[in-house]
Amino acid sequence: MSDSPEAHPEDMPQVDEASRRAALPAAAQRALAEAEERRRQAAAEAAARPREYGGREGPDPSRYGDWEKKGIAIDF
């Protein structure tokens, strides 16, 4: 333990997201914009997929090796 007091979030100055991004280098701003675009595209693709009724929640089990549902091994 240290003798210095811990910093609390309410003691920190409030900085909005726009001013934080403006202080970043141009390459970092481009990277953030590209990441936001990838997240937007992934969300659009997920919304476009048909709903699977009775299927697994979460990531694709064949990709992540989750072949069990409520203790019962399942097969596709």
**pTM of the entire structure?**
0.47
Q: Residues 6 or more apart from 68 whose CB is under 8 A from it?
A: 74
Closest listed residue to residue 56, CA positions, set 40, 37, 27, 76: 76
Residue 73 pairs with which residues in a beta bridge?
A: 68
Please, which residues bridge with residue 69 across strands? Answer: 72
Radius of gyration of the chain (CA): 22
Give the residue, 72 or 17, on which the prediction is more confident: 17
What digits encode the pLDDT tens for the residues 13-39? 677 877 887 788 999 999 999 999 999
Residues 56, 49: contact at Cβ < 8 Å?
Answer: no
